[in-house]
Chains A and B, each alone.
Chain A
Amino acid sequence: MDEQAGPGVFFSNNHPAAGGAKGLGPLAEAAAAGDGVAAAGAARAQYSLPGILHFLQHEWARFEVERAQWEVERAELQAQIAFLQGERKGQENLKKDLVRRIKMLEYALKQERAKYHKLKYGTELNQGDMKPPSYDSDEGNETEVQPQQNSQLMWKQGRQLLRQYLQEVGYTDTILDVKSKRVRALLGFSSDVTDREDDKNQDSVINGTEAEVKETAMIGKSELTDSASVLENFKFLESAAADFSDEDEDDDIDGREKSIIDTSTIVRKKVLPDSSEDRDTKEALKEFDFLVTSEEGDNDSRSAGDGTDWEKEDQCLMPEAWNVDQGVITKLKEQYKKERKGKKGVKRPNRSKLQDMLANLRDVDELPSLQPSVGSPSRPSSSRLPEHEINRADEVEALTFPPSSGKSFIMGADEALESELGLGELAGLTVANEADSLTYDIANNKDALRKTWNPKFTLRSHFDGIRALAFHPTEPVLITASEDHTLKMWNLQKTAPAKKSTSLDVEPIYTFRAHKGPVLCVVMSSSGEQCYSGGADGLIQSWNTTNPNIDPYDSYDPSVLRGPLLGHTDAVWGLAYSAAHQRLLSCSADGTLRLWNTTEVAPALSVFNDNQELGVPASVDLVSSDPSHMVASFSKGYTSIFNMETQQRILTLESNLDSTANSSCQINRVISHPTLPISITAHEDRHIKFYDNNTGKLIHSMVAHLEAVTSLAVDPNGLYLMSGSHDCSIRLWNLESKTCIQEFTAHRKKFEESIHDVAFHPSKCYIASAGADALAKVFV
Chain B
Amino acid sequence: MVMAEGTAVLRQNRPGTKAQYIQQNIRADCSNIDKILEPPEGQDEGVWKYEHLRQFCLELNGLAVKLQSECHSDTCTQMTATEQWIFLCAAHKTPKECPAIDYTRHTLDGAACLLNSNKYFPSRVSIKESSVAKLGSVCCRIYRIFSHAYFHHRQIFDEYENETFLCHRFTKFVMKYNLMSKDNLIVPILEEEVQNSVSGKVKHEGNHIEKTY
Contacts and interface: CB of A to CB of B under 8 A. Distances in A.
Which bucket holds chain B's interface residue count? Answer: 35 or more
B73 A511 contact: no
Interface string A496-540: 001111000101100101111000000000000000000000000
Given A461-B112, A486-B61, A748 B99 contact: no
Nearest to A510: B109
Contacts of B2: 751-753
Contacts of A561: 68
B152 interface: no
Interface of B: 1-4, 14-17, 19-20, 54-55, 57-58, 61-62, 64-65, 68, 72-73, 89, 91-92, 98-99, 101-102, 105-106, 108-110, 112-113, 115-119, 122
A462 interface: yes
B15 A748 contact: yes
Contacts of B98: 555
A462 B109 CA distance: 10
B197 to A, nearest CB: 30
Given A500-B122, A556-B105, A753 B1 contact: yes
A240 B65 CA distance: 76
Q: Which of A485, A499, A500, A750 has the most CB of B within 10 A?
A: A750
A552 B109 contact: yes
Contacts of A505: 117-118
A773 B15 contact: yes
B105 A513 contact: yes
26 contacts: A460-B117, A461-B112, A461-B113, A462-B112, A462-B116, A463-B55, A463-B57, A463-B58, A484-B58, A484-B61, A499-B119, A499-B122, A501-B118, A507-B113, A513-B64, A552-B109, A553-B89, A553-B92, A553-B106, A553-B109, A556-B101, A558-B72, A751-B4, A753-B1, A774-B16, A774-B116
Of the candidates B19, B73, B91, the one having the most CB atoms from chain A within 10 angstroms of its own CB is: B19
A555 B54 CA distance: 24
A254 interface: no
A505 B73 CA distance: 32
Contact of B3 (A515, A751, A774): A751
A475 interface: no
B16 A463 contact: no
Nearest to A515: B65
Given A462-B112, A485-B65, A556-B102, 16 more contacts: A461-B116, A464-B58, A486-B61, A501-B118, A505-B117, A507-B113, A513-B68, A515-B65, A553-B92, A553-B102, A558-B68, A748-B14, A750-B19, A751-B2, A751-B4, A774-B116
Given A461-B113, A462-B112, A505-B117, A553 B91 contact: yes
Contacts of A752: 2, 4
A773 B112 CA distance: 14
6 A-B pairs with the lowest CB-CB distances in the bound complex, closest first: A460-B116, A463-B58, A484-B58, A485-B61, A553-B91, A461-B112
A286 to B, nearest CB: 52
B178 to A, nearest CB: 23
Contacts of A511: 105, 108-109, 112
A485 B62 contact: yes
Interface in A233-263: none
Contacts of B115: 463
Contacts of A513: 61, 64-65, 68, 105
Nearest to A458: B118
B118 A460 contact: yes
B156 to A, nearest CB: 13
Interface residues on A, range: 20 to 34
Contacts of B92: 553
Interface in A733-763: 748, 750-753
A751 B1 CA distance: 7
A507 B116 CA distance: 10
Given A511-B109, A513-B64, A556-B102, A750 B20 contact: yes
Nearest to A501: B118
Given A511-B109, A751-B4, A556 B73 contact: yes
Contacts of B16: 748, 750, 773-774
B58 to A, nearest CB: 4
Interface in A463-499: 463-464, 484-486, 498-499
A750 B113 CA distance: 21
Contacts of B118: 460, 498-501, 505
Interface in A7-31: none
A501 to B, nearest CB: 8
A573 B108 CA distance: 27
Contacts of A486: 61
Nearest to B3: A751
Contact of A463 (B64, B73, B112): B112
B125 to A, nearest CB: 11
Given A516-B65, A751-B1, A555 B102 contact: yes
A11 to B, nearest CB: 72
A465 B135 CA distance: 22
Contacts of B117: 460, 505
A508 B17 CA distance: 25
Of A463, A501, A516, which is in contact with the most chain B CB atoms at under 10 Å from its CB? A463
Contacts of B108: 511
Interface string A540-563: 000000000000110110100100
Nearest to B67: A513
A462 B61 CA distance: 11
A578 B17 CA distance: 39
Nearest to B112: A461
Contacts of A750: 16-17, 19-20
B124 to A, nearest CB: 9
Nearest to A507: B113
A500 B122 CA distance: 9
A485 to B, nearest CB: 5
A751 B24 CA distance: 10
Contacts of A556: 68, 73, 99, 101-102, 105
A501 B119 CA distance: 12
Contacts of B1: 751, 753
Which one of A462, A515, A556, A748 has the greatest number of beta carbons of chain B within 10 Å?
Answer: A556
A555 B14 contact: no
B61 A555 contact: no
Interface string A322-351: 000000000000000000000000000000
A553 B110 CA distance: 9
A499 B118 CA distance: 7
Nearest to A460: B116
A486 B63 CA distance: 12
B157 to A, nearest CB: 16
B65 to A, nearest CB: 5
Contacts of A508: 109, 112
Nearest to B16: A750
Nearest to B61: A485
A764 B200 CA distance: 63
Contacts of B62: 485, 516
Contacts of A516: 62, 65
B70 to A, nearest CB: 11
A500 B119 CA distance: 9
Nearest to A464: B58
Nearest to B92: A553
Contacts of A501: 118
A555 B99 contact: yes
B99 A463 contact: no
A773 to B, nearest CB: 6
Nearest to B66: A516
Contacts of A461: 109, 112-113, 116
A558 B57 CA distance: 21
A461 B105 CA distance: 14
A556 B79 CA distance: 14
A485 B60 CA distance: 10
B47 to A, nearest CB: 15
A464 B1 CA distance: 13
A703 to B, nearest CB: 21
